[in-house]
Amino acid sequence: MKLFVGLGNPGANYAFNRHNVGFMAADAIASAHDFPAWRKRFSGLATEGKLGREQVLLLKPQTFMNESGRAVAEAFRFYKLDLGDVVVFHDELDLAPGKVRVKTGGGVAGHNGLKSLSAHIGNDYARVRIGIGHPGHKDLVSGYVLHDFAKADYAWLEPLLGAIASEAPHLADGTYDRFQSLVAHRLQAEDAAETEAQAPLAKPASRHKQISDDRPDEAPEHNGSLAGMLRRWLGS
């Protein structure tokens, strides 16, 4: 059994926050691989299915970010897992938007969800670091991560979540380098196809460009397709 944990905060008010991209990744994996409906387990929402040859429990703690480790520890101990069986998806300020890196262990860089996990189960679990960019000053971080993704972010966020979901079986079998490489390849291929399709037009901005205008957009449920994707993933 493998335990895949998406980090985020529960509730509709947080659903589109940058801090909730771990939840979004878990929802995308569950949808892409036909996992059954989410149900309440281990102080969270859980669903179980196959990724490749591995049985995987997907978990979204409902304890709020700062207490994520409490929910994860319940599942971890119930299944008598080793730290090598745990993969955590979380937002990463120190990566550009749309970048993904996988590492095992290391520091938590001030991420309260990771801090809670390490306190409850130990530190040497795998982390799928999903880049959201940095607002530029540490005093702006809290507001930035708890702010909804902007409409402009959907251009890189949707394909990124799709690539993570498609290549998730490589995380389940422990081939983390292959997962990272294939996600990058998928995104490069989509960038090339998009550029070719729009060749007669002005060159589009890179999906990895940091969004500098962070003014609130209209409510996500009224624009873009990310909201629709999330509604489908959540079964609503």
CATH number of residue 223's parent domain: 3.40.50.1470
Strands of the sheet with 54-61, listed across from one edge: 39-41, 44-51, 54-61, 2-6, 86-92, 126-131, 100-104
Domain interval for residue 20: 2-234
Find where tokens 């990566």 sit. Answer: 95
CA dist., res. 50 & res. 138, Å (int): 40
Model pLDDT, residue 209: 43
CA dist., res. 176 & res. 174, Å (int): 6
Model pLDDT, residue 201: 58
Using one digit for the tens of pLDDT, what is the confidence trace for 163-172?
A: 999 999 999 9
> What is the count of structural domains for the chain?
1
Our answer to whether residue 208 is catalytic in this structure is no
The pairs formed by 214-217 with CB atoms below 8 angstroms and a separation of 24 or more are: 214/135, 214/144, 214/147, 214/150, 216/147, 216/148, 217/148, 217/150, 217/151
From 19, 33, 90, 111, the catalytic residue:
19
Question: Among residues of the chain, what percentage have pLDDT more than 90?
Answer: 78
Model pLDDT, residue 193: 74
Mean per-residue pLDDT of the chain: 87
pLDDT band with cut points at 50, 70 and 90 for residue 227: low
* The two three-digit tokens of residue 35, written as one number: 């996992």
Select the highest-mean-pLDDT range: 79-83, 198-202, 208-212: 79-83
pTM: 0.84
